[in-house]
Structure formats: C-alpha cells, structure tokens
Amino acid sequence: MQKRKLGNSGLEVSALGLGCMGMSFSYGPPKDKQEMTALLHAAVERGVTFFDTAEVYGPYLNEELVGEALAPFRKQVVIATKFGFDVSGGDHRPGAAGLNSRPEHIKQAVEGSLTRLRVEKIDLLYQHRVDPEVPIEDVTGAVKELIQQGKVKHFGLSEAGVQTIRRAHAVQPLAALQSEYSLWTRTPEKEVIPTLEELGIGFVPFSPLGKGFLTGAMNENTKLNSTDFRSTLPRFTPEAMKANQSLIELLGSIAQRKQATPAQIALAWLLAQKPWIVPIPGTTKLHRLDENIGALEVALTADDLREIDSAAAEITVHGARYPERLEQMTGR
C-alpha cells in the first residue's frame, strides 16, 4: 500500500483511508459487529492504516467498534476521531445534534473517545463542525493543551472555511482538513485547496464517491429507506439522481478504457489532484473495499485528467448536498 504524508505534520498514512461511519450510523441500522470487525481486520491486512470515526457516529457505537477491532493493531494504525456535537440530546439522527465546542466540553469528549478507542493518545482529533458560538482560538487552545498533556497527537478541522483554517493554524499547526470533495462536490478547489497548500496542511476528502452515487450503483429508481441519511438530501431525490447520471456516464466511459470501475476512476482522480490528499471512502462490504484499494493501481495521465476536467465542466450537478440547516454548518 502506498503511503502519503498529511501536509507538513509528519503524519504518514496509507494513501487511502477507511471511513467507518456507515458501519454504525447514517446508512440504515448499525451493521453486524462481527462482520464489521472482520472488515476492519481485512483493511489492515491489505495495508490500510488510516481509520476515521467520530463521537457522534452512533453516538459512541462507532468509536467502540473501531477501538475494539483495531486494538490488536494499535502500533500500526492511525485512528482519527472528532468532537464538536452535543450528543447529550435524545435525537441521534445525522446532523440533529447541536454544536458544542466549548473547551470544557472538548476535554470531556476526548476522555470519552480515549476510553472507547482504547488508546492513550488520539492520533488525529478533528473539530467536527465549526461552532460559531466559540472563537476558534479557544477551541484550538483547548486542543493545544491536550496535545501538551500527551492525549492528542495532531489536530484538524472539518468543513471549515479559509479564515477559520488560518486562525486555527496560527495557534496550533493543523495536520489536516476533512471536507467533502469529489467529482460532484468541487467547492474546495476555489479557496480551500490553495490555502492548504500554502500552509502545509493535508486534505482528507470524505464522501469521495459521492455517498455511493459515483460508484454507478444508483439511479432514479433507487429506493432509499427512511433510516438512510441520503433520503433527506436534495441531491438524492429521484429527479436529481436522474439529472446527475451524465457524471456516471463520464466516469463509466473512462473506466471502460482503463479497465477499471467508475468508483476507481473517481478515487484515482482525487488521488491525482495533490500528493497530500488522502480520501477516506467508507464501505461495509469487502468487495467494495478491494475495489476502492484497486484505485491506487489506476494511472490517470495528464491527458486523462484534462479530459475528465473539461467533460465535468460541462455537467451541472443538480441538488444541494445538504438540507439548508446542515449546509449552514459548512464553510464557516
């Protein structure tokens, strides 16, 4: 497995990570614990060293699963988790929890994560969403103290805007920004990616396969269960999925030429953007894990990349990526 460094932080991880959220949260009921443990072990065997979870996934269930499954491999893996949602309320649907990044709350959240992950130190700790009620300097200061205490190694932000990134980085150098980035969500290209490059911060795209859409396995006839988070997203209405099929056709035509799959082309495209980009596709299926890892073998030439860019530029993506309330939590 190829390795990549996240910016100037010195944090080295496998070129593809594994997003673990869907094993416990968001895409229907939690999956079978033994099956997911086997999948996590299979990922380690295949050279994946970078695993992504969060306090709010479950809540708590996903950290517990990841912590227990990866305990035997502790020395060889990097586990990232996140704080920033108030998980004390009763509504545990994705995005339902309010934000809370007050310093005392961060410290409590970290103690809980350390226990559930069965570690003495969190490798990479993200603020899950920027909390407009708490100055980012206070948030970063609290994490800096946790780093000094040896409870956290590296700090990152998720879905933050450029000004917030700069302000946080001035207090405590950031190892990574985690935000949605893929062929159908290209907003970070305008300001965020140039800023990360300038400051030496790694980029960890989540939903690099468009929450499953870019695999080519979904269309306007796909029925999403009400327990599936995607059923609430404007981009996953039947009309939007029908309108967005042209993106799948583009990926499919290139995939055919490269003897690859649409998902592999979508991941190879991301990997080709910058050497410090590490996508974290999530899956609950072994054959998808193998397919995703296969993207590392797909070589896209400069001509291929130009062709993808010019074709993608002609395609208008239909549907917002989140309902308005959740969209407001991004880019702050």
Sign, CA torsion 193/203/310/305: positive
Residue 312's H or E segment, with its range, is helix 302-313
User: What does R_g of the chain's alpha carbons equal in angstroms?
Assistant: 19
Tokens matching residue 24: 């416990």
CA distance 43 to 17: 9
Residues contacting 198, CB < 8 A, separation 6+: none
Phi, psi of 102 (to 5 degrees): -65, 140
Surface-to-core class of residue 316, CB atoms within 10 Å of its CB (0-12 exposed, 13-18 middle, 19+ buried) = exposed
Surface-to-core class of residue 51, CB atoms within 10 Å of its CB (0-12 exposed, 13-18 middle, 19+ buried) = buried
Query: Does residue 322 carry a catalytic annotation?
Result: no
| Catalytic-labelled residue, pool 27, 57, 126, 322 | 57
Query: CA nearest 165: which of 188, 142, 133, 186?
Result: 188
Tokens matching residue 180: 């949605």
- SS3 of 16, please? coil
Task: Please give the positions annotated as active site.
Answer: 57
